[in-house]
Structure 1
Amino acid sequence: MLEPAARYTGYTAWDYLEPDVDYRAFRYAKQIGRVPEYAGLSLSDDQAKRAERLLRDEIVISLHDHVQVFPEDMGELREHIRQGREPTGYEGLARSGMTAVFDNGMDGTCCISSDAGWKYSDVLFDLGVRMADLAHQDFVVKAETVADIRHAHATGRLAHVFGLEAATMIENEVDRLDVLYGFGVRQIGIAYSEANTLGSGLKERGDGGLTYFGERAVKRMNKLGVAIDISHSGDRTALEVIQTSTKPVFITHCGSREVWPTNRMKPDALIAACAERGGVLGLEAAPHTSLSEAHPKHSLESVMDHFTHLVDVVGIDHVAFGPDTLFGDHVGLHDAFAKNLSIAQAHGHVDYPKVEYVDGLENPAECFTNIIGWLVAHEYSDDEIRKVVGGNILRVLDEVWV
C-alpha cells in the first residue's frame, strides 16, 4: 500500500465540529488494516517499481465506489445512517493512489427519514452535508469537470465526483435533475434494482423498458452533461437507454453474465451494444457479485476473470474499474440492507461460497494498488494499463460532460 499522499494533512471527517455536541460520534471501522493485506500477487522488484510508478504518475479513476466509513459495530448502522452524517475516509483515500473517484454516497441506504430510502430531501441532505465537510479540507476536492480531475492530478489532490446509483428520488419531476446537477452530481443511474418512473430495475419479474418519462430524463441528462449509468437497470431498459442517449453511457459497476450467471451481471450482447456507442464498463467487486467458475470464492482473481473475458469481447478501450468498495464491513452492510438492496433477487438462485470480504479488493485504499499490480504481473503494456485505470473513462467524460 502507498504512503499517504503528501498533500494530505491528517484531516478527519467533521474536524470542524465537536463530537457528541454537534453530532453523535460512533466508533468507526479501520480504514487501513481492517483485514490482512492481499497476498495473491508475487511481483519482482522491477515489476513492483513499475506498478508503483504507474499508480503514482497516471490518472487513476474509480468509476464507482462508496468512500464513507461505516461503524465498527454494524448493529449501530441504522442509528448511524439516520443521523445523515456519513464520514469520508480521508486517511484511506490518501493511500489509494487514485486521482478521482465517483462516489455514490448512501443511495439505496439513504434512510434518514424513511427505511424505504431514496427520498429526495434525504439525498439532498446527504449531498449537502458531505460537501460541507469536503469544503473544510484541501486534499479531497469536489470535481465537476474533466479540468477539475486533471487539476487534481497536477496538484496532488484527489478529485471527488458525486454520483447517484438511481434517479428514483426525482419521482416524476424532471427538473430535479437540474437541482442535483447544481449540487454537483455528475453521474446518475436510471433505476436501482427496483423499477421506478424511468424504467425497470434488474430484480423485476418483467422489464417494460424505458418509460416515456425515462426518455425525457435521459434527454435532460444529455443536455445537462450528466453521465448515465445502467448498472442496476433491467436488460431491456438498459438497452433502450443506450439507444435513446445521444452520448455514450456507463455501466459503472458490473461484470459479464457469461462469466457468472446472475441478474447483477450484464449479458455480453448488452455490454457490446454499450461499447458500440462508445460506452465503458467498470468492473464490479462488491462482495458476492463478480464471481467466476474458476474463482467462486470472491477475490481479485474472480474480478480479473471478468476483465480478461470482457477485453476479449469488447476490446480494451471499453473496460475500466468501478470496484464498489467502502470502508468497513461490506458483507455486514449487505446483510443489514438485504431487502433495500434486493440482494437475493440480484443473485437469483446461483449458489456461491460466502466470504467475509473480497480478498484484494476490500476497500478503496487498496483496490488500485492490487489492480495495477495484477496488470503488471500479467504483462499488460503501460498504454493498456493507462487506458483501463483512467483513460477510457476520461474519453467518455470528454464527450459527455460540459
Structure 2
Amino acid sequence: MINNCLVIDGCAFVEGDFKGCSSKVADSGLDAFFLTLPKSGEGFTETIKAIGNIYNLTDIEEKKIQVARTLRDIEEGAEAGKRSIILAFQDPHPIENSLDNLRALYELGVRVVQLTYNKANYIGTGCTETIDRGLTDFGARLIEEMNKLGMIVDLSHCSKLTALAAIEASKQPVVFSHACIRSMTESPRNRTDEEIILLAKKGGVIGLSPWGPLCWKKEKGKQPSMDDYLDHVDYAVKLVGIDHVGFGGDCTIDDGEDASGTTEQATLYPAVVGEYNAKVGVHPSVRHAIGFKGAGEVKNVVEAMKVRGYKESDIEKFLGGNFRRVIQSVWK
C-alpha cells in the first residue's frame, strides 16, 4: 500500500513463464496487478498449465503472492503483505467460441478478459484491422455471460466500433486497462474521446499506460518524459474526471526485458510501434516513459502528480481506488 490506499496496476506481464515479482516491485507498494496469462496465445491446454504453475508458486511463502478471486482477497492480502495476482487475458484465444471454456476459466480464477488482441477473432475486431466490423453476435453473448459470472470486460486492444458496442452491451462497468489518449498520441491502440466518455458514463476506468509508443510526443521524436505521460493523465481527468482514471503499466512484473515481445510487436504490428522503433529505438531502457517503467516505479508518479497539484484523494483514486470500485461492482 501507499498512504494506506490500494495500489492496483491494470496491466503486467512476463516473458516466458511467471516466476514471481521482482524485488523492485515487492518494495514498491503494489497490492494487486492484472497479470497477462502466459501461453494464452498457444491455446486452452497451455493456458491451463500456466494457471497451474501460478497456483503452485503461491504455495511458496517467501514469494508473498496469491491469486485474487474476490475484492476481499485483495484487501486481506494487502493487510498481510501479499501481492494479489488478478488472472487476465490480453489474447482471449483459449476461449475460442465456447462459453463453456469461459466458465471453466472463471472457475480457475480468471477475472479479466480482453476481448481482442489487435487482430479480429470470434468476439470482435482488433484495433489494427484494416476494416472495423465491430462486435460479433458471439461477442455480445460473451459479454452477457461475463456480466453474469462477474468478469471484467477489457477493451484495450479493440477497434473503436468493437469498444463502443461492448460498452453499450455490458450491464457492468468495463475498462481500458492499458491505453492512452488518441488525440494526444495518434495510435490505433489509443482511445478516442468518444470511447472514453462513454466508458465513464458506464462507470468504467481507463488505465493510462506509460508504454512509450502510446504516450510519446511524436513531434519530439524521443522517449517520453514523465511530463509527457502526465499530460495524458491531465487530459483524461479534464475529459471525464479523476474517478475514471488509473494506470496500466504494460510492463514486466519480474524486470524481464521482453525482447521477444518487442520483436513480435515490430513484426506483426508496425502500425503500433514502427514509427517509435525507428525514431526512439527498441532498447528496454527507452520502452516506457522516463521514471515510470511499470509498478516498480509507481512512487515516482505519485511525486510528479503532487507537483502538478493533484490532491491526496485524487492520487489514491488513480493508484487503485478506481479499479477497486470496478472490481467491487463487477466481481461476484
TM-score, reference length from structure 2: 0.91
Task: Evaluate the alpha carbon distance shift between residue 165 and residue 343 of structure 1 in structure 2; reply closer, same or farther with a 3 A threshold.
Answer: same
**Match in the other structure for 2:54:** 130
Work out the percentage of aligned pairs sharing the same amino acid. Answer: 28
Q: 3-state DSSP class of the match of 1:208?
A: coil
1:57 aligns with 2:4: yes
Q: 2:84 aligns with which of 140, 159, 169?
A: 159
Query: Cα distance 1:171–1:270, how it changes in 2: closer, same or farther (>3 A)?
Result: same
CA shift at 1:293, angstroms?
A: 4.8
Task: Specify the SS of the correspondent of 1:259.
Answer: coil
Q: Which residue of 1 aligns with 2:328?
A: 398
Deviation of 1:314 after TM superposition, in Å, equals: 1.1
Match of 1:328 among 246, 256, 281: 256
Contact between 2:216 and 2:223, CA under 8 Å: does it hold in 1?
yes
What code does the residue aligned with 1:103 have? L
CA distance in 2 between counterparts of 1:130 and 1:92 reads 20
Q: Distance in 2 between matches of 1:339 and 1:378?
A: 35
Name structure 1 gaps, 5 residues minimum.
1-53, 71-80, 112-116
TM-score relative to the length of structure 1: 0.76
CA distance in 2 between counterparts of 1:161 and 1:293 reads 33
Map of 1:43 onto structure 2: none
What residue in structure 2 maps to residue 100 of structure 1? 32
- Equivalence for 1:337: 264
The answer to whether the 8 Å contact 2:230/2:305 transfers is: no
Shift of residue 292 of structure 1? 2.6
Secondary structure in structure 2 of the residue aligned to 1:278 = coil
Question: Unaligned 5+ residue runs, structure 2?
Answer: none
Task: Check whether the contact 1:291–1:303 (CA below 8 A) recurs between aligned residues.
Answer: yes
**1:126-205 equivalence runs, <5 A:** 126-137=50-61, 139-205=64-130
Structure showing the higher helix proportion among its residues = 2
The structure 1 segments of at least 4 consecutive aligned residues displaced by more than 3 Å after TM superposition are 293-296, 347-352
**1:127 to partner: Cα distance:** 1.4
Q: Conserved in 1, the CA contact under 8 Å of 2:262 and 2:282?
A: no
Q: Distance in 1 between matches of 2:223 and 2:314?
A: 27
Say which SS state the counterpart of residue 57 (structure 1) adopts.
coil
Partner of 2:240: 314
In the alignment, the residues of structure 1 paired with residue 211 and residue 93 of structure 2 have an alpha-carbon distance, to the nearest angstrom, of: 22
Q: Which amino acid aligns with 1:240?
A: A
Please state whether the residue corresponding to 2:320 is helix, strand or coil.
Answer: helix
Q: Which residues of 2 match residues 66-85 of structure 1 at below 5 A?
A: 66=13, 68=14, 70=15, 81=16, 85=17
User: Highest Rg: 1 or 2?
Assistant: 1
CA distance in 1, matches of 2:27, 2:134: 42
Alignment RMSD: 2.0
Question: Could you tell me which of 214, 222, 227 is aligned with 1:301?
Answer: 227
Q: How many residues align?
A: 323
Would you say the 8 A contact 1:334–1:343 is kept in 2? no
Q: Which residue does the alignment assign to 2:166? A: 241
